[in-house]
A = this chain, B = another copy of it.
Amino acid sequence: MIKGVLFDLDDTLYNSSEFARRARKEALKAMMDAGLHTSEEEAEKVLNRIILQKGSNYSMHFNDLVKALKGYHDPKIIATGIITYHNVKFSLLRPFPDTTSSLINLKSKGLKLGILTDGVTLKQWEKLIRLSICPFFDEVITSEEFGLGKPYPEFFQHGLNKMDLKPEEVVYVGDREDRDIIPAKSLGMKTVRIFKGKYSDNKETIADYSINSLSELPIIVEKL
């Protein structure tokens, strides 16, 4: 019997990739207005290379970008980029249209809910607070806190321990095949792949269920 649901956060409960993309685009434009002489195309290409190399949680993307394009550290341009990025991201940040209603539905069934997410603890909490969805979750588990992240099964097992539930009692919901579905399934959890974010084009999945929208989730949990 299903007693709880564990969720990935970014691109599962809100549109992380899309907001980050739009915020980066506006930040680049503002940096060009502030004196970064380059084309939007060139700037995007270099920034994407930096994100690929350093990861999306790296905190000095714009420092590296300005260094790469101007040859030196220009704090005015970097600070302009950071301000614009945060202003745009915070003003756009909101859950998927059906996130909150689906969470209410699951809570009304008496289920325990948790978040299992890679990332810096305070940054992930900041998103939950800004999204106004943190009261739904009994546990929020981050890779920074545990010291090991996805796709390590130890991290998923730690999530189950915190929820105080057995694998077969839990549904795991995430957008990534390699980092979410495969490890969750390997421990014996029921898995639901959600087709959102930048990996949504590849529909191949070993998940027990796949969904296009969170509103389908309560029906699946009901069946289980």
Interface residues, chain A, with chain B CB atoms under 8 Å away: 75-76, 78-80, 82-83, 121-122, 125-126, 128-130, 134, 140, 142, 145
Contact = CB atoms under 8 A, between A and B. Distances in A.
13 contacts: A75-B121, A75-B122, A75-B140, A75-B145, A76-B128, A76-B129, A76-B134, A76-B140, A79-B122, A79-B125, A79-B126, A79-B129, A82-B122
Nearest to A144: B75
Secondary structure class of chain A's binding surface, majority of residues = helix
Closest 10 CB pairs of A and B: A79-B125, A75-B125, A79-B126, A75-B121, A79-B122, A76-B125, A75-B122, A79-B129, A80-B129, A83-B129
A125 B76 CA distance: 6
A200 B160 CA distance: 57
Nearest to A137: B76
Given A78-B122, A83-B130, 8 more contacts: A75-B121, A75-B125, A75-B140, A75-B142, A75-B145, A76-B125, A79-B129, A82-B126
Contacts of A121: 75
Contacts of A82: 122, 126
A76 B135 CA distance: 10
A14 B76 CA distance: 19
A119 to B, nearest CB: 11
Contacts of A125: 75-76, 78-79
